[in-house]
Amino acid sequence: MRHDQPSQKRRAKDLGRSYGIVFTKVARRVHRSPKVMKEPAAGSVRAAGRSPDNSHERAVREGRRRRRRRHLSAYYYVVPAVILVVGMFWYSIIVTIEISFTNSNGLSSPHFAGFANYSAILHDSALSTNVANTLIWAVAMVLLPAGIGLIAAIMVHGKRGGDLFRSVFYVPYAIGFVTTGVIWSFLFGNNGLSELFGALGLHSLASVQWLNEVPLNTYSMIIASTWQTMGVDMLLFLVGLGTIDRAVIEAASLDGASGWRMFRHMTFPLLTPMTRVIVAISIVNALQAFNIIWVMTQGGPYGSSSTFAVWTYQESFELFKMGYGAAISVVLTLFVLIVSFGYLRRSLKEATA
Amino acid sequence: MNTGVLLKAPPDESSAPADSRRKIGRSNGRVIIYAVLTVAAILWVLPVWWTVIDASKSTSDFFAHPFYDLPHEFNLFSNIATAWTNASLGSGFINSILYGVVGAGASVAIASLASYAIVVLRIRGGFTIFLIVFSGTVFPLQMYIVPLFKMYNSLGLYDTRIGLFLFYTAVSVPFCTLVLRGFYSTVPREYREAALVDGVSEARILGKIYVPLSRSAVLVLFLFQFTWIWNDLLFGIVLSASPSVRPVMASLSSLLGVYAGSSLPVVLSGALIAASPTLFLFFGLRRFFVQGLTLVARRG
């Protein structure tokens, strides 16, 4: 892809030169880029029968013209994608950064406020709760769904009946975040699990207000989220396990490796690429956790279970402090970009390869 | 042919008991693994089971008996009817089907065109254009809510189906482009060369050669983007307000707010309605979803 661009530039330069030079250059490049050869060739086929020297020249010129026309029309193909992404997302990013430096509140016309919003974040009493909760989510989403998913994948892998377990663990993912939030709001509510704990004689558990006590409300939502996402992480690890060469594992088992030793020294290191992907996705998703929290507690009570994503939304759309909300989302974005930097660089490297 | 035999250790008297001991150990391990998996599976199924039985209860039944009791009368359909009409979950459901099908379809088509121009037609600056499009997946979605809300208000797109359809299409394009770009670059270029010689237009080459050859990727992308759009809550509540426009998850979330205190069975039946299309898709087309997951994984 990249090495194709200089050759196109060269082709443009060639336009001013005599066709003979162009043609040899084109011919030299044939083995690399068959497309370059084809158009003059097709032109000369059509022009066959006329006087040889004249037709050749005309064919090359015609081919060049057609190539240029096709080249231009090829840009139409990317127009919708570029307009949508630039018009919606690049525009939004620039505007968000711009708004974050104003006192926009949706009522009076906004004024430039410098770094006032950013310093206000630092002095906001809600900052520590939001940072703590966001970090708890990030760590928990790696340890629980991804961790349990890994264990489940290893247990299920290659077992008879594994398919049944796979489907069962996968159901909550098919159910979706919001529905998961609704189901667990019911279970953690007054007519939910506490009735069950009461009936089982666990009275200390029966009186717990799962979604109202701090920090229990965050942990309760993490349980719901784990229930929902573990299945996908398991499936991803199973995909990873499927790519491990059976012969390597068999060789290790002939050498006496089994159980924990096999996992620690063979399976887990071989899973590293997949593990890295899952950890990165889990952290990035956790930093943006919104749906389940919004459905189950709306960040409450009194902001005690809020995260950065919920905080941004509330400042912008409930308190209409859009400048402040925008500044919070810029800070969140910085965190996300830092975490995903290494991961993105790798995926881009793969995309260019 | 004989290497397998040669590599095996010669039969040995002492190895037999050790072997059977290991076998016993392994079968014990197996029993433990199945026991753990069964317990976990029960934990994973119970919330769904409780949701189904409590969605089937009448409100009085629900409050009179513990939630884990079986329903005394089967009320599921009247609960569904209440959620569907009174709580406007029905219009949300229809809206989201529309957004999902049109948005996923349009984004796959748009990404298909872009990928074709970038990797097959090899337009100049193609990689830069790819980066521009791909950048749409990099930033957290919270970055977009305030400006989009303002832009939608000033353009008259706020609280319109077209507005939501545009957003859902745009948000799905970058990932589709990433995946299709990869797929189209694996299609042998000779197919296109041959078609061009036969005078076939580029658009037909894309539609008749590239898309069919990448059929599985196209289908998987459609399913994934449909699911994403179906599950979206944030942009549904930011970019729309009226029940005739709101997507299903926004309706479900407000259903929870309105009915949670008075009639939880109605809310739970709403949850079943909202979950049904994706459940149906996941289990009807499970093979494709597993393939799709490998695509997502390859994204890293």
- pLDDT band of B260, cuts 50, 70, 90: confident
Choosing from A68, A100, A132, the residue where a domain stops is A100
Interface touch B169/A308, C-beta < 8 Å? no
Contacts of A78 in chain B (CB under 8 A): 113-114, 117-118, 123, 129, 133
pTM of the model as a whole: 0.81
* Residue B269 belongs to domain spanning: 78-298
Write out pLDDT tens, residues A45-82: 444 444 455 666 666 666 666 655 556 788 889 999 99
Q: Would you state the structure tokens that stand for residue B2, as one six-digit string?
A: 């004989």
Which CATH number covers residue B131? 1.10.3720.10
Q: Which one has a higher pLDDT value, B170 or B288? A: B170
Q: Please say whether the dihedral angle defined by the alpha carbons of residues A276, A280, A283 and A285, taken in this order, is positive or negative.
A: negative
Q: Do A144 and A82 have their domain in common?
A: no
CA-based nearest distance B132→chain A, Å = 7
Return the higher-pLDDT residue of B288 and A183.
Answer: A183
In DSSP terms, A50 is beta-bridged to A48
Residue B52: inside a domain, yes or no?
Answer: yes
> How many residues make up chain A in this entry?
353
Minimum distance, in Å, between the CA of residue A346 and any CA atom of chain B? 7
Q: Do B64 and B208 belong to one domain?
A: no
Residue A111: inside a domain: no
Residues of B in contact with A6 (CB under 8 A): none
Cα dist from A129 to A215, A251, B3, whole Å: 10, 51, 64
Chain B: residue whose CA lies nearest to A288: B140
| B101 lies in the same domain as B40 | no
Q: Does the beta carbon of B210 lie under 8 angstroms from any beta carbon of chain A?
A: no
Report the C-alpha gap between A207 and A202 in whole angstroms.
9
Which of B128, B142, B178 to mutate to test binding with chain A, by most A CBs within 10 Å of its CB?
B142
Is B180 found in the same domain as B49?
no
Q: Which pLDDT does position A17 carry in this prediction?
A: 35
Contact A236, A278 (CB under 8 A): yes
Whether the CB-CB separation of B160 and B96 falls below 8 Å is answered with: no
Sign (positive or negative) of CA dihedral B282, B286, B290, B295: negative
Q: How far apart are CA A34 and CA A28, in angstroms?
A: 11
Instruction: Give the end of a domain, one of A52, A67, A100.
Output: A100
Which residues, including other chains, have CB under 8 Å from residue B188's CB and lie 6 or more apart? none
Question: Is the CB of B142 less than 8 angstroms away from the CB of A70?
Answer: no
Q: What is the mean pLDDT of residues B140-164?
A: 92
Looking at residue A3, its pLDDT comes to 44
Question: Does B118 lie in the same domain as B49?
Answer: no
Mean per-residue pLDDT for B97-101?
95
pLDDT at A285: 87
CB B185 within 8 A of CB B158: no
Q: How large a percentage of chain A has pLDDT more than 90?
A: 31
- What's CA A150's distance to the chain center, in Å? 20
Specify the higher pLDDT residue, A42 or A311.
A311
**Residue A142 counted as domain residue:** yes
Cβ–Cβ gap A171/B48 under 8 Å: yes
Q: Within this chain, do residues B105 and B153 fall inside the same structural domain, yes or no?
A: yes
Are residues A228 and A256 located together in one domain of the fold? yes
> Which band of pLDDT confidence, cut at 50, 70 and 90, is reported for residue B109?
very high
Please indicate whether, in this complex, the C-beta atoms of B47 and A227 are within 8 angstroms of each other.
yes
User: Which residues span the domain enclosing A75?
Assistant: 4-100
Query: How many other CB atoms are found less than 10 A from the CB of residue A179?
Result: 30
Which structure tokens are listed for B109?
A: 């088509």
How much is the average pLDDT of B238-253? 92
3-state SS of chain B: helix, strand, coil percent to 5?
80, 0, 20
Neighbours of A130 (CB within 10 A): 24
A78 and B66 within 8 Å at the Cβ level: the answer is: no
Residue written as token pair 């809510």: B145
As for how many domains chain A has, the answer is 2
Closest CA to A178 of B252, B142, B281: B252
Q: What is the DSSP string of A294-342?
A: HHHTTT-STTTT--HHHHHHHHHHTS--HHHHHHHHHHHHHHHHHHHHH
- Residue B227: inside a domain, yes or no? yes
The answer to whether the CB of B110 falls within 8 A of the CB of A81 is yes
pLDDT band at A109 (very low <50, low <70, confident <90, very high): confident
**B62 lies in the same domain as B94:** no
B residues 88-117 near A, CB within 8 Å? Answer: 110-111, 113-114, 116-117
A151 lies in the same domain as A209 = yes
A46 and A189: one domain?
no
Whether residue A216 is found in the same domain as residue A327 = yes
- Domain end among B74, B89, B119: B74
Number of structural domains found in chain B: 2
Q: What is the mean pLDDT of residues A184-199?
A: 88
| Residue B199 and residue B258 share a domain | yes
Last residue of a domain, one of A42, A71, A100: A100
